[in-house]
Structures are given as structure tokens and as C-alpha cells.
Amino acid sequence: MLCIRCKKAETKVVDSRDDEKTVRRRRECLSCKFRFTTYEKSEIPNFKIKKRSGALETYDRLKIYRGIIKSLEKRPFSEEKVMALVDDIEQKIIALQENVIESHLIGEIVSQRLKKIDEVAYLRFISVYKSFSSAKSFASEAKKLVSDKSKN
């Protein structure tokens, strides 16, 4: 979004708060540093999540947020970065344009994103989401991560 003062530069989001119907974003101009707030109608994503049990539930961005926060605990990520990551993941999910999305697909999207930014967070996330039945399967996933890395 362009700066409303100088209209020359893009702005970055420095803070973002959701309530039920609007997203309040605090923005800062990358050029003149002017700060302003925008209120955006949240695009309430209109789809359901199909859980492993087959049950449908309404999509809730907070669940993704909580999962990520948990995985990133004590890792060097600011609140701003986390919000941007959640936004990003949500956009990806919305872009699927499905009415029903299986929860494991969302888990996949989140884990792929985390894999790119923080390996510890990635392993933490998949350890919950894949609910490894043993330390051995967890260790083999960690090993795979290391070998994938050395290939790249």
C-alpha cells in the first residue's frame, strides 16, 4: 500500500490487530517514515476445515497463529514477522479457492513455510502435527532434514 502522505513509497505493516470484522494495520512509509493506521474489512475466509476425524469446522486463523507461536517459542522472531507469516500462509490457503480444505493440507503448508525459515520451529511443528508415535520417527525426520539440506 502506498504512503498516504508522500504517495511515493510503499509502506510496511508495523502492527496488525484483528477483531471480528476488521483488521487494523499500523503502517509505516518506507521513504518518509510517516505512520498511519488502516482499517480493512477482514476478508472472512469462507471455507471449512475438514479434520482427520472427518468433522468440519469453520476456519480459524487463530489456530494457525497459535501453532506457529508455539513452534517459534524462544526463536528469534518478532511479533511482526509472525503476523506476516500468518498472513502469508492464510493468503496461500485462500488462493486454493476451495470450500473445504483438509486440515493436513494446512499443516503441510505451515510446515513447508516453517522449514524455510527455522529448522527448530519446523521440527517442533511437525512433531505435534504429525504426532510422531516414537522418538525414532522423529529422529528420522530430523535426519532427513539434515540430508535434504546438504543436498541443496
Q: Would you tell me which residues interact with Zn ion (CB under 5 A)? A: 3, 5-6, 29, 31-32, 34
Least Cβ distance, residue 30 to Zn ion (angstroms)? 8
Cα–Cα distance between 35 and 30 in angstroms, integer?
10
Between 1 and 139, CB nearer to Zn ion: 1
Write down the least CB distance from residue 28 to Zn ion, Å.
9
Shortest separation between residue 36's beta carbon and Zn ion, angstroms: 9
The DSSP element (H or E) to which 53 belongs, if any, is: none
Tell me the angle at which helices 79-95 and 61-71 cross, rounded to the nearest 10 degrees.
130
Secondary structure (DSSP) of 12-46: EEEEEEE-SSEEEEEEEETTT--EEEEEEE-----
Closer to Zn ion at the Cβ: 30 or 62? 30
Q: Which residue, 31 or 42, has its beta carbon nearer to Zn ion?
A: 31
Query: In the numeric block, which cell numbers belong to residue 108?
Result: 503441510
Least distance to Zn ion from the beta carbon of 6, Å?
3
In whole angstroms, what is the distance from residue 131 CA to residue 16 CA? 31
Indicate the residue among 27 and 124 with the shorter CB distance to Zn ion.
27
The H or E element containing residue 11 is strand 11-18
